[in-house]
């Protein structure tokens, strides 16, 4: 079997996501400031590409992108703040629970895709079982129960992780991928920067000294460069797969990558290695089963 492109791009997303989470864990920049400069970097990185390849012409693309930008303008601040407080490992173990909800919700958005699974009920049942096992492994990478405090801290990010992939699929379907692959991260990031700028001047969530601090700018731009490539890979993966929850499942292997990096660094962790290996096995099984649908 040829390794599917959506899974390959999803793995790239997972690796880069793990890097950006660990960088924020290390630097602990203010959530609003890091989110702002993260997307500024994304705009800067993708600008040459959108100038060369152009922008989508479909109005639907920009309407859906506006909703996505508003959703993640809130989610990103919560996400980066949560990493600073609870750590990359803890947050990465909370978010995967969204995969099952995202997987099932897609059938409401696109009922026709459900019929493809009905034609092969055994494969469909196995896929659902593997997804459940995957979430079980992801959420038990700690020997203790998931911290409810961490879950409450990033509850909006969990919500965005459920809705976001579905919205991203609709956006990628609304235009030609040749235009959308770079226009997606550029337009989304630009809209988010505008939203945050207006919010900053209206509500002052942080002081100017915090937002414009040298460390915030430097580390935010650094993480943003990694994040820009991660978003591009994620967009391409979602475009090539029928249910965006598959991309989310593979990209959430960042949980496993973070565990490996912790171990390589000799960092004490209560991580469950068996559960981490289980995640990898489930992801491989998911890719194999998806090829049968």
Domains of the chain, residue spans: 5-290
Highest mean pLDDT among 140-144, 152-156, 273-277: 152-156
pLDDT over 60 (residue 143): no
> Cβ distance 230 to 17 under 8 Å?
yes
Mean pLDDT confidence for 18-24: 94
188: nearest Cα among 50, 9, 13? 50
Phi, psi of 146 (to 5 degrees): -60, 135
DSSP state of 271: B
Q: How confident is the model at residue 1 (pLDDT cuts 50, 70, 90)?
A: low
Q: Which residues sit opposite 142 in a β-bridge? A: 271
pLDDT over 80 (residue 280): no
> Cβ distance 160 to 71 under 8 Å?
yes
Phi, psi of 147 (to 5 degrees): -65, 120
Q: Which residue has the higher pLDDT, 157 or 259?
A: 157
pLDDT over 80 (residue 268): no
Residue-level pLDDT at 147: 54
| Alpha carbons 182 and 166: distance in angstroms, whole number | 19
Q: For residue range 162-183, list pLDDT tens digits in order.
A: 999 999 999 999 998 877 899 9
pLDDT over 60 (residue 138): yes
**Range name among 18-22, 47-51, 178-182 with the lowest pLDDT average:** 178-182
> Cβ distance 40 to 224 under 8 Å?
yes
Residue-level pLDDT at 256: 82
| Alpha carbons 41 and 35: distance in angstroms, whole number | 10
Residue-level pLDDT at 176: 87
| Alpha carbons 293 and 209: distance in angstroms, whole number | 54
Q: For residue range 187-223, list pLDDT tens digits in order.
A: 999 999 999 999 999 999 999 999 999 999 999 999 9
C-alpha separations of 164 from 43, 178, 269 in Å: 20, 21, 30
- State the chain's mean pLDDT as an integer: 88
Residue-level pLDDT at 171: 96
> Cβ distance 211 to 33 under 8 Å?
yes
Residue-level pLDDT at 229: 97
106: nearest Cα among 173, 56, 15? 173
Looking at the chain, list the stretches that DSSP marks H as alpha helix, in order from N- to C-terminal side.
Answer: 5-27, 31-53, 59-86, 88-94, 98-109, 112-118, 121-139, 148-153, 155-173, 177-203, 208-211, 214-240, 244-251, 254-264, 273-290
pLDDT over 90 (residue 40): yes
250: nearest Cα among 2, 1, 17, 36? 17
Residue-level pLDDT at 2: 65
Residue-level pLDDT at 178: 78
Q: How confident is the model at residue 240 (pLDDT cuts 50, 70, 90)?
A: very high
Q: Which residues sit opposite 271 in a β-bridge? A: 142
pLDDT over 80 (residue 139): no
């Amino acid at each position: 079997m040829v390794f599917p492109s959506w899974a390959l791009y999803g793995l790239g997303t997972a690796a880069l996501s793990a890097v950006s989470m660990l960088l924020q864990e290390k630097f602990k920049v203010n959530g609003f400031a890091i989110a702002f400069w993260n997307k500024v970097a994304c705009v800067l990185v993708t600008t040459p590409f959108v100038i060369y390849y152009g922008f989508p012409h479909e109005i639907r693309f920009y309407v859906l992108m506006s909703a996505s930008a508003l959703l993640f303008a809130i989610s990103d601040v919560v996400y980066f703040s949560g990493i600073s407080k609870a750590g990359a490992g803890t947050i990465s173990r909370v978010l995967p629970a969204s995969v099952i909800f995202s997987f099932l919700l897609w059938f409401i958005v696109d009922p026709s895709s459900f019929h493809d699974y009905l034609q092969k009920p055994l494969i469909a049942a196995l896929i659902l079982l593997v997804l459940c096992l995957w979430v079980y492994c992801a959420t038990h990478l700690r020997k203790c129960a998931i911290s409810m405090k961490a879950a409450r801290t990033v509850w909006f990010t969990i919500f965005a992780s459920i809705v976001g992939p579905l919205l991203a699929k609709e956006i990628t379907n609304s235009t030609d991928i040749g235009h959308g692959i770079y226009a997606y991260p550029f337009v989304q990031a630009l809209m988010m920067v505008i939203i945050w700028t207006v919010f900053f001047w209206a509500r002052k969530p942080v002081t100017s000294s915090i937002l414009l601090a040298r460390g915030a700018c430097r580390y935010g731009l650094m993480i943003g460069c990694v994040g820009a490539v991660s978003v591009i890979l994620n967009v391409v993966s979602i475009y090539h797969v029928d249910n965006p929850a598959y991309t989310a499942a593979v990209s959430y292997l960042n949980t496993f990558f973070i565990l490996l990096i912790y171990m390589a660094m000799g960092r004490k962790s209560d991580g469950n290695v068996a559960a981490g290996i289980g995640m990898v096995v489930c992801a491989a099984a998911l890719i194999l089963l998806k090829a049968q649908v």
